[in-house]
Amino acid sequence: MNDDMPYDYLEGNIAAILGNGAFAVENIRTCVEYGVEKVWLVTRKKNLPSPRLPCWFVHQGIAPVPAKQLLDCFTPMYDQCGFEDPWSYHSVYASKNHEHCTINSHSRFGIGDVTFLAVAWGRCEYVVDILKRCTYHTLHLQSGKKLENVKVIVKALGLIADWGADRFHKIKEMVGTWPGGDHRRILFADPVGMHAANFSSFSTGIGSYVSSLRDKHLMDFPQEYYKLQGMGVLDMLPRHKAIPEEDRPAHQYDAKYATSASMVLDGSLPRVMQKMAGMDVYFHKVMWVVNPFEKYYAECKASWDQYQMDWWKQGFKHDYVPYPYKRDYITAWFERYRANTGPTEGKPGEKYTLYADGRELEKYVPSWEREDGEMPVIKEDEEPAAPLASLPMERTGKLVGAAGEASASEAAGPAEQKSEGPSDEELTAHYRQQQANAGQLQTTNPAVDTAFNELPWDQGGSRYWWATWGTYGRG
């Protein structure tokens, strides 16, 4: 995984990996790819690893996938490769009938089919124990068991944040996601572990995006932060202090804490929720354009078979292990998802195509492509163009959104007094364009069919909105 990995010592030797998080699971693949004879994974508890296809299924979904369905998606791979029932793992909290389920773990899913294949072939073995001490090429475990002839030890014991960040910011406690509750000091470390009953992603990408979007919004509109303060919302936020005995600084909190803070803040910031609208559809479309089911399924199966071919060539002997997922399994996943969770536009065999210019996905792009602070690009020797659509006029001749509701006849010169507003053709064209753009997300402060409602910049208004307002006749 980095320059500290002793690649030259792996081939033909026995290795031990300490830990069972995503990084530890990823190093199983590293070890077997470099020809290790056997790898022991020493862990206090067995965490849930994830096969590749369930991971793909979660990421392509428009609505989050329930944890109970996710565990059932794991089952074919677990059964095929000798893993325990996924419902029996310590991180699974479920009702007796499995109708309700939450997965609470100190680490995220380790994702990869090769982990399961290595266990099925006997090239990897889990050891639920604690390392007590080491002697020459031997690991002595707390239970009294010995792992002998171990020449490589890989420590993958979890993410440790930098205490220097706490010292630099003089953090006594985190209020929500901010040092001391100050939204102007943005400090972010990946939340540890996972805590969810529904899954929209296995990575930190979506959470990081939402956090960045919220922080930028409050920087652009500080009056919304003070509104939260006045409403007492900040007093409802969770708080986190450093935990020295766990080597965890104050700014390193877990996924449950991050989820609680996000729920409190986002529920009180409707404009942030508006900006996030369409994010799920965008993610869904991207997955089906970049990794459609047939392409991804074929790659997963080919990779599964290729690993076994490579291991046979390296001299390892084992019967062929069939790929546990069949196409009809995934079709059943979609049917169950559609019946219990919500509609989905994507299904095996369906393809999303790009326009000739490659911009089919543009209308699904969330608002970070059309943000409040984004200024139009003006080329040299070119007149500035209005970055937003021109304001239509009502039939009364009044400019919608103009300061003072000035009429068109009052705003126009003497020669234009007879004009009472757009023609029927202009209005028809305008609203047809609106319908055509119905799937597109607008900026937070669209200057189309809206009244003037923006605060001055020095009171927290949007720089972009004020920079473009003059285009519509403010001056």
Domain count, the chain: 3
Boundary (domain end) residue, out of 247, 281, 315:
281
Assess if residue 432 is contained within a domain: yes
Q: Pick the residue with more confidence: 60 or 350? A: 60
Q: CA–CA separation, 223 vs 337, rounded Å? A: 41
| Identity of the highest mean pLDDT range in 2-6, 50-54, 259-263, 443-447 | 50-54
Indicate whether 132 and 183 sit together in one domain.
no
Assess if residue 436 is contained within a domain: yes
Assess if residue 37 is contained within a domain: yes
Q: CA–CA separation, 232 vs 213, rounded Å? A: 22
Assess if residue 8 is contained within a domain: yes
Indicate whether 152 and 130 sit together in one domain.
yes
Q: Which of 159, 160, 185 is nearest to 172 (CA)?
A: 185
Q: Is the pLDDT of residue 180 over 50?
A: yes
40: β partners: 16, 125
Q: Is the pLDDT of residue 155 over 80?
A: yes
Choice among 229-233, 284-288, 427-431 with the minimum mean pLDDT: 427-431
Indicate whether 117 and 213 sit together in one domain.
no
**By residue range, what is the domain housing residue 219?**
163-190+204-281
Indicate whether 239 and 173 sit together in one domain.
yes
Place 385 in a pLDDT band, splitting at 50, 70 and 90: very low
Indicate whether 391 and 255 sit together in one domain.
no
Assess if residue 359 is contained within a domain: no
Indicate whether 168 and 153 sit together in one domain.
no
Boundary (domain end) residue, out of 252, 281, 310:
281
Q: Pick the residue with more confidence: 404 or 194? A: 194
- Residue 248 near residue 242 (C-beta atoms within 8 A): yes
Identify the CATH number of the domain in which residue 123 sits: 3.50.50.60
Q: CA–CA separation, 18 vs 13, rounded Å? A: 16
Boundary (domain end) residue, out of 238, 253, 281:
281
Indicate whether 11 and 149 sit together in one domain.
yes
Indicate whether 33 and 113 sit together in one domain.
yes
Q: CA–CA separation, 149 vs 136, rounded Å? A: 8
Assess if residue 100 is contained within a domain: no
Q: What is the pTM of this model?
A: 0.73
Indicate whether 147 and 241 sit together in one domain.
no
Indicate whether 122 and 176 sit together in one domain.
no
Indicate whether 125 and 38 sit together in one domain.
yes
Query: pLDDT tens, 310-343?
Result: 999 999 999 999 999 999 999 999 999 988 887 6
Residue 206: predicted pLDDT: 84
Give the angle subtended at the CA of 128 by the CAs of 102 and 126, to the nearest 5°.
95
